[in-house]
Chains A and B, each alone.
Chain A
Amino acid sequence: MSLAAVAPSAVSHAASTLQILTFVVNGDEYGVDILSVQEIRGWAQPMPIPNAPPSVRGVINIRGEIVPIVDLRSILGLPERRPDETTVVVVLRDHNTPPRVLGTIVDAMADVMDITREAIKPLPTFETTGVTVGVVTLPEKMISLLNPNALLPPRKASV
C-alpha cells in the first residue's frame, strides 16, 4: 500500500524530497511536513475546554485566533510530563477544508531536515491510529511522521 493512499494529504506531492520539522516526545523523534507548520511557540498554560477529551489540553490565543492545544503524549498513550524550559508548542495547519489551526505540545525541538520520499517507509500493519503515517529510518534514529489531521478528535455530528 503506497504512502500516498494511506494519507495522501499528509505528504506534499510536489517534489521527491520534502522538508520536515522534527521534535522529541518521550525520547523518541517525530516529524511533520514543514508546510504544515505555522509557527513554534513557547509553552503557555492553555485555557481548559469544558468536558474535552484528555488529549485536548485547552485553547490559547494566537494573535486573536483561538487555537486548541493537544498533548502528543496523551494521543500516543505515553505517560504525562510536566512542561519545562524546553517544552514547546508546534502550531500546525491541518489539511482540512477549511484548514484548522492547532498546536501540539512536544518535549523539545529537534531539527529541520530534508528527506526523500523513498526514505519514508509505511507503518507496520498493527499501527492503526492514523496519527502516524510513516517512518523515516536514518542511520542513527527513526522518525515517525505525524498526520496533522489526526491530532484533534473528530468533530461531533452537527446539531
Chain B
Amino acid sequence: MAISDGLGQAFYYGGYDLSGDTGSADDIGGGLVGTQDITTIDLSAFKRIGLLRDGRISWGAFFNDATGRAHERLGALPTADRHLMWATGAVIGDPAACLVGKQINYDFTRPQDGSLTIAVNAQGNAFGLEWGDLLTAGKRTDTAATNGTAAEFGYDGEDFLFLSGASGNYASTPDAASLDIVGDLDLRVRVALDDWTPAAESTLIAKYTATGNQRSYALAVTATGALIFRWSEDGTVEKTETSSAVNTFTNGSTHWVRATMDVNNGASDAAVNFYTSEDGSTWTALGAEQLNGATTSIFASTAVLELGSQTAGTVNRLAGKVFRAQVLSGIGGTSVAAPIASTSSITDATPLTWTVQGTAYLSSHTVHGAQAYLQAFSFAGTDVTVKLQHSHDNGSTDAFADITGGAFTQITSGPTVERIAVAAGTEIKRYVRAVTVTTGGFTSLVFAVAVNVNVTAVTF
C-alpha cells in the first residue's frame, strides 16, 4: 500500500449505492467523545479513562430525485437507524468506514451561482464508527453460491508457525557451533498447543536426533500436561527430567514455557527447573526443582535445532502454534537462537536461518472476534446467506471454515443491511472471505461486506 487520494471511492447507504450522488465527505469520524480525568495527587501526569465511543459521517450530496437515488433515500428523513459504509476503494482489503446511525438532516444549499448541494449528517447509534476492510471488490454480484476471494489480514505481533502434527511438519535451522551448548542451558518457547494434554508427547524445541545418535537437548509437553526436558551426555543414552506439576492451560491458549538446566548446582548435582509465563519475563515455577542425582553435561551433536518435533520432524510432533522460542547459553545467559515467526518467514536476529519444513506454514490470527457489515443492494431468488469463512493459509492446506458466529441473517429480499458481531474470544485466522450459500437457490445478489477484525479486546 502507498499513500493514496480520495478518488474512486464509494458510499453505500441502507442498501443503496449513493456514490454517484455524493460529492464529498466532510467528516468521517469516531472514537472517544471524551475522557474523564482520574488523576490522583500522587501522580505527576494526567491519568484519564475513556468515556463513550461515537461515530459520525457528514457528507455532501447532489440533488437527484430518481428512484433509489439520493433524494428518495435521504429526503425521506428517516428516523430509524441507517447503515452507512464509506469504501475508500473497490479492491478486496480496502478500508471502509462503517456506521450504524441516525440521519439527522438533509439540508439544501442553492447559492446564487446556480449550484445545488445538500449537506447530510449521520450520528452513530450504539456502536460508534468502525473501520473495516472490504471482503468484496466494491459491489459484488453473485448469481449462484460463491466462495469469493479472501482478504489477508496482518495481525501485528501474532504471527506464528502453524504445525498440524503431521510427520515432516516443523521448522529448523542447521547445526551451528553456537548451538552446541554443553553446560547450563535455558530453553523458552511461546506456544499454543491445540491440546495442552496431548495424546502423545509433543516437542516444543529440540536439538535431538535419534538418527546417528545425535541427541543434545529437547523440551516437550507430556500427555499428562507436564513439561519434560530431555538431554544426553553422549548422544546415545537419553536422560530426562519431568516437571512435578502439570499445566492447567486451556487447549489452544498461548503461553510461554521454559526449562533450565544447571549442569552443576554446586552440590554435586544437576538441577532442572520448569516455568510458565504469560509475558516471557515473569516466570512461575511449574512444580519443584528436579535433581538429576549427579552433575551432568550435554552432548554437542550435529543435529539441527528444530521447532515442533525431534529427529527432523518425525518424532513427538506438536500440533499447534509456535510463536517464538529462545535458546540461551547459560541460565538467563547469552541468546544463541531466537526464532520469531513473522509474516513470511521465521526471523532470528542471533542470527540463524530458519526453514519451514513440509506443509507447515506461517500465519497469524486474533482471538478477539470481529464485527462485520453487510450492504445487500438487490436480491432475486429464494434465499441466500452471506457468511464469513477463514483460513490460515488461504485454503492451501488449511481449508476455509465458517467463523463461529460469522453468518449474516438469511436474505430473502433486498435491499437489506446488517451488522453482526463475532464474539470476543473467537479466533479469526489470517485470511477471511465472504461466501454466499443458499438452500432454495437464487439468481442474483449484489452486495458489499466489510469486516473489522479486532486485534485487541473490544467492548461495546
Partners in one complex: no
Binding site for B on A (CB under 8 A): none
Binding site for A on B (CB under 8 A): none
